[in-house]
């Protein structure tokens, strides 16, 4: 019996869907409009759709009741850009004029999911599993949506996250643990022009702490950064408080612990030097995962990649996706590329050929490419 895999992806329809999604403003925290749009699209394509209290969508496309897989994307875009105007180039690459991001992260993933659902509707295949499509909010702000998603409501045994860059054919099997840092220094306010000697300059303390920290790429598995620095009230007031916000990531928990210890030590040393105090706040945003090559999601992804004529490229990522959360919550997942390049930057772009390839890989996964 012919399967949907034998029918080609509709290239023009895929691009049109992607452009329609990009036209809907959805910076993190403002996903209402795209959430409503997607709810309508998934319903029209035969899915049972539910939305949780934070705005995550779960669209269930019924299939084989004995096999259920998860396919994950996110609906928010990085930063605050609105009014994105995509340009389809003569070379088949979609980008903007450089004044905004494109939003291929992760609307290319969503467009691929919608195209696969459309193909399944046009060419029914009884062998297709039940598909739970999860489209989260707040992914760009630290996987907020997936962290609040009640996975007990999901039936999937394993899944695939369509939300990475990298070469087509790559499988992100290993991702780091990431922690957010909020470091607050408290000194003493004073009049900077009349009696500065009575003050303890919290900004100065924080600056010395940053200068003493190991930052950037620490080793092949560990990175750290201080991203924001705020403090003070006015030019003529010795600042009593200063706040640093940063992050650290590593694929190795021991290395991450040592990095955090070094940063904490630099902060305490600077505070003690000036008789200030420091609160070193650490929040784990997501945890590392490592999927073996013989695990089901890796095996199925690899078979699908080979089925469309690509080589499998194992990829160790320095970033995180909702897959980190699903893995931590007991649903093993790998992450797959959608074709996005330079995500989060105004140079972001995507080749239509790569979007089609990503869609074909997903189609091969859900139709059960030979394993």
Examine the residue annotation and report whether 139 is marked as an active-site residue of this protein: yes
Which residue in the list 31, 76, 208, 354 is annotated as catalytic? 76
Catalytic residue, chosen from 105, 115, 125, 139, is 139
Is 76 noted as a catalytic residue in this protein? yes
Tokens representing residue 294 in the block: 């013989």
CA torsion through residues 100, 102, 103, 106, sign: negative
Strand 158-164 and strand 64-74: pairing? parallel
Residue whose C-alpha is closest to residue 325's, from 49, 56, 27: 56
Helix (H, G, I), strand (E, B) or coil at 140: helix
Q: Report the C-alpha gap between 67 and 249 in whole angstroms.
A: 35
For the annotated catalytic residues, the residue numbers are 76, 139
């Amino acid at each position: 019996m012919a399967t949907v895999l034998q029918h080609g992806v509709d290239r023009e329809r895929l691009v049109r869907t992607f452009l329609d999604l990009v036209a809907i403003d959805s910076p993190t925290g403002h996903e209402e409009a795209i959430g409503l749009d997607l709810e309508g699209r998934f319903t029209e394509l035969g899915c049972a759709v539910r939305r949780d209290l934070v705005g995550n969508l779960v669209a269930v496309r019924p299939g084989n009741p004995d096999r259920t897989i998860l396919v994950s994307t996110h609906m928010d875009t990085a930063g605050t850009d609105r009014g994105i105007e995509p340009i389809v180039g003569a070379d088949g690459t979609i980008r903007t004029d450089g004044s905004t991001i494109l939003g291929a992260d992760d609307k290319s993933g969503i467009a691929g999911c919608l195209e696969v659902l459309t193909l399944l509707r046009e060419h029914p295949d009884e062998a297709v599993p039940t598909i739970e499509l999860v489209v989260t909010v707040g992914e760009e702000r630290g996987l907020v949506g997936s962290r609040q998603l009640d996975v007990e409501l999901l039936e999937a045994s394993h899944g695939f996250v369509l939300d990475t860059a990298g070469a087509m054919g790559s499988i992100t099997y290993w991702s780091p643990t990431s922690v957010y840092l909020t470091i607050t220094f408290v000194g003493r306010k004073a009049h900077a022009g009349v009696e500065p000697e009575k003050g303890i300059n919290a900004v100065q303390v924080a600056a010395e702490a940053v200068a003493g920290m190991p930052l950037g790429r620490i080793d092949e598995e560990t990175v750290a950064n201080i991203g924001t620095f705020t403090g003070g009230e006015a030019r003529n007031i010795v600042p009593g408080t200063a706040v640093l916000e940063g992050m650290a990531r590593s694929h190795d928990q021991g290395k991450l612990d040592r990095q955090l210890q070094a940063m904490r030590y630099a902060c305490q040393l600077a505070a003690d030097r000036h008789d200030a105090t420091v609160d070193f706040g650490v929040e784990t945003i997501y945890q590392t995962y490592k999927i073996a090559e013989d695990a089901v999601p890796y095996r199925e992804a690899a078979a699908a990649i080979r089925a469309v004529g690509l080589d499998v490229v194992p990829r160790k990522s320095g970033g995180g996706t909702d897959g980190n959360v699903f893995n931590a919550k007991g649903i093993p997942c790998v992450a797959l590329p959608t074709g996005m390049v330079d995500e989060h930057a105004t140079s972001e772009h995507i080749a239509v050929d790569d979007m089609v390839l990503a869609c074909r890989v997903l189609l091969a996964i859900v139709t059960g490419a030979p394993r």
